[in-house]
Amino acid sequence: MANGWRLLLLLACISALCDVVLLKGILYPLDSESRTVKTLDGMWNFRADASSSRNQSFVDQWWTKPLEATGPVLTMPVPSSYNDITTDKNLRDFVGWVWYDREFFVPANWINQRIILRFGSAHYYAIVWVNGQQVMTHDGGHLPFEGAINAVVNLSGPNRVTVAVNNTLLPTTLPPGSLSFQHDVKRYPVGYFTQQLQIDFFNYAGIHRHVHLYTTPQTYIDDITIVTSISGGDGIVNYEIITAGGAPEAVQVSIVSKEGQTVVQLYNQLQGTVTIPNVRLWWPYTSMPSDPGYMYTLVVNVSGDIYRQPFGVRTVAVTDTQLLINGRPFYCLGVGKHEDADIRGRGLDYALIARDFNMMKWLGANCFRTSHYPYAEEIMDQADLQGIVVIDESPGAGMSQVQNFGPISLAHHKDVMTELIQRDKNRPSVIIWSVANEPASNLSEAEAYFRDVIAHTRDVDKAKRPVTFVTDADYPNDVATQFVDILCVNRYYGWYTDTGHTEVIQLQLSADLEGWRSVHQKPIIITEYGAGTVSGLHEYPEFVFTEEYQNTFISEYHKTFDKYRTQFLVGEMVWSFTDFMTQQEVRRVVGNKKGVLTRQRQPKAAGHLLRARYLSLSNSTTLYFQSH
Going by C-alpha positions, the residue among 411, 403, 470 that lies closest to residue 441 is 470
Radius of gyration over alpha carbons of the chain, in Å?
25
Extended strands (E) in 198-295 = 206-207, 211-216, 220-231, 234-244, 251-256, 262-267, 271-276
Alpha-carbon distance of 454 to 381, in angstroms, equals 25
**Would you say 625 and 328 are in contact if contact means Cβ atoms under 8 Å apart?**
yes
DSSP label of 375: P
345 pairs with which residues across the strands? Answer: none
Q: How many CB atoms lie within 10 A of CB 114?
A: 21
Rounded to 5 degrees, φ, ψ at 267 are -130, 145
Going by C-alpha positions, the residue among 413, 427, 334, 420 that lies closest to residue 375 is 420
Going by C-alpha positions, the residue among 504, 520, 522 that lies closest to residue 560 is 504
Longest Cα–Cα distance of the chain, Å, equals 77
Query: 614: Cβ–Cβ under 8 A, 6 or more apart, which residues?
Result: 333, 363, 364, 365, 366
Going by C-alpha positions, the residue among 162, 145, 268 that lies closest to residue 209 is 145
Q: Is 332 exposed, middle or buried (0-12, 13-18, 19+ CB in 10 A)?
A: buried
Alpha-carbon distance of 391 to 368, in angstroms, equals 6
Active site residues: 438
Query: 532: Cβ–Cβ under 8 A, 6 or more apart, which residues?
Result: 495, 544, 545, 550, 592, 593, 594
How many residues are recorded in the chain? 628
DSSP sequence for 253-266 = EEEE-TTS-EEEEE
**Would you say 523 and 319 are in contact if contact means Cβ atoms under 8 Å apart?**
yes
Query: 592: Cβ–Cβ under 8 A, 6 or more apart, which residues?
Result: 200, 201, 532, 576, 579, 580, 581, 582
Going by C-alpha positions, the residue among 211, 389, 438 that lies closest to residue 287 is 389
**Would you say 178 and 171 are in contact if contact means Cβ atoms under 8 Å apart?**
yes
Alpha-carbon distance of 162 to 440, in angstroms, equals 39
Alpha-carbon distance of 519 to 152, in angstroms, equals 58
Alpha-carbon distance of 174 to 197, in angstroms, equals 11
Query: 393: Cβ–Cβ under 8 A, 6 or more apart, which residues?
Result: 369, 370, 371, 372, 373, 374, 433, 434, 435, 436, 437, 470
**Would you say 167 and 182 are in contact if contact means Cβ atoms under 8 Å apart?**
no
